[in-house]
Amino acid sequence: MFISNVVFTWGPQVESLSNTGDDWEHAYSYFRHSEKLLSGAPEKRSLIDVVSNLKRAVDHRIKYISTTYKIKKIPIYTPKSTIWDILAEMEVIKPIMLAKLLEIRNAVEHKFSDPPTQARCIEFAEFVWYFLRSTDSLAKQVSDGPFHKETYDSPFTIYYNGNPENEWKSNITALLPKGLTSLTPKTDYFEVSETTVQSGSNYKFALSKFRDSISEMYNRFGDDDLIIIGKLKNRNIELWFLKLYFRTT
């Protein structure tokens, strides 16, 4: 089964979010300690501690996101893929400044190099603050997964079903007009394999069992329209959905 790329122009939405707990805030304790050390005129030893605590703040946040989202379970990556590389491709992090901070931290702690100047440490601290702030929403709440809807009151929707809870089951559920599907390859269509397909008439009949009347929105779902469940075949398509997942959380 093939589905038109036009679904990617539909507006993204999130069905539900769940809180992760309070431990996501712990990264800020390292950051605040660095800020305290940077106040006044810190000595060289204090600047070394600044770099170390900024690195700990970053490490804690990345590990927390990695564990919460079971990043290593995402099926498009191999066991050799690093967390940093995965999060960078997902556009969760920008790795250059993080790598620079790691380089400096290793230099001052393991090679006994001089720490950066106070001014440079302040720059790193501001970077880490922005990094933490930009990932707070990911750390605080986990999404069931994003979906695309043609319009607000349209029945036509495509769901990406992967999430940490099901260890990134890489399939989709789509409620689509038949005209956006094809049984043969077409330009600007993507493939879904191992599909189950149900007609709109069957869907509305099933829905009527649970509700006294079908809403006006689902009355617009035609008898010839389709409900499709299947696995994504193309890595780039799955990556697109994964990026959407992390962008909309």
Please report, for residues 119, 132, 139, 148, 182, the alpha-carbon distance to residue 22 in angstroms, rounded to integers and kept in the order given: 32, 15, 9, 30, 47
- By percentage, how much of the chain surpasses pLDDT 90? 42
Domain boundaries, the chain: 2-16+144-248, 19-143
Average pLDDT of the segment spanning 1-23:
90
pLDDT at 164: 92
HSE-CB at 57 with a 13 A cutoff on CA atoms is 29
Rounded-to-integer distance, Cα 126 and Cα 33, Å: 13
Task: Give the residue among 195, 197, 196, 192 at the shortest CA–CA distance from 233.
Answer: 192
- pTM score: 0.83
| Beta pairing class for 141-143 and 157-160 | unpaired
Rounded CA separation 155/158 (Å): 10
Characterize the bridge pairing of strands 2-4 and 11-14.
unpaired
Lowest model confidence (mean pLDDT) among 143-157, 216-230, 233-247: 216-230
pLDDT, one tens digit per residue, over 30-74 is 999 999 999 888 888 899 899 899 989 999 999 999 999 999 999
Note the pLDDT of residue 86.
93
Question: Per residue in 182-234, pLDDT tens?
Answer: 999 999 999 999 888 888 776 655 554 444 444 555 566 777 888 899 999 89
What does the block give as tokens for 152?
């607000």
CATH architecture, domain defined by 19-143: Up-down Bundle (1.20)
CA distance 75 to 81: 11
